[in-house]
């Protein structure tokens, strides 16, 4: 995950203050922090599931089981 991706996810759920120099301060409460953490976890789960898809490309059943197990972690 790149720094730009992380910042974009933060902007989706956290308020941003910008000073006169154009520097950003991210301001959030516990709900914003939780929402940000969920976005990051969702992004990482999907990235891991895609690795399963690629690594197990020739093992259709293994690929489905692996990717589904990772994606299901978001439902827990």
Task: Look at residue 73 in the predicted model and tell me its pLDDT.
Answer: 83
Instruction: Decide if pLDDT at 57 tops 70.
Output: yes
Q: Checking phi first, is residue 27 left (phi over 0); if not, alpha (psi -120 to 50) or beta?
A: beta
Mean pLDDT of the chain: 86
Which of 62, 72, 61, 66 minimizes the C-alpha distance to 49? 66
What mean pLDDT is predicted for residues 45-66?
A: 83
Instruction: Tell me how long the chain is.
Output: 76
Instruction: Decide if pLDDT at 38 tops 70.
Output: yes
Burial of 10 (0-12, 13-18, 19+ CB in 10 A): buried
Could you tell me which residues come within 8 angstroms of residue 42 by beta carbon, excluding any fewer than 6 positions away? 74
Task: Look at residue 48 in the predicted model and tell me its pLDDT.
Answer: 87
């Amino acid at each position: 995950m790149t720094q730009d991706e992380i910042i974009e996810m933060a902007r989706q759920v956290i308020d941003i203050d910008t000073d006169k120099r154009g520097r950003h301060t991210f301001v959030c409460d516990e709900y914003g922090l939780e929402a940000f953490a969920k976005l990051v976890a969702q992004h990482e789960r999907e990235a891991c599931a895609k690795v399963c898809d690629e690594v197990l490309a020739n093992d259709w059943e293994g690929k489905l089981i692996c990717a589904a197990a990772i994606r299901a972690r978001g439902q827990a």
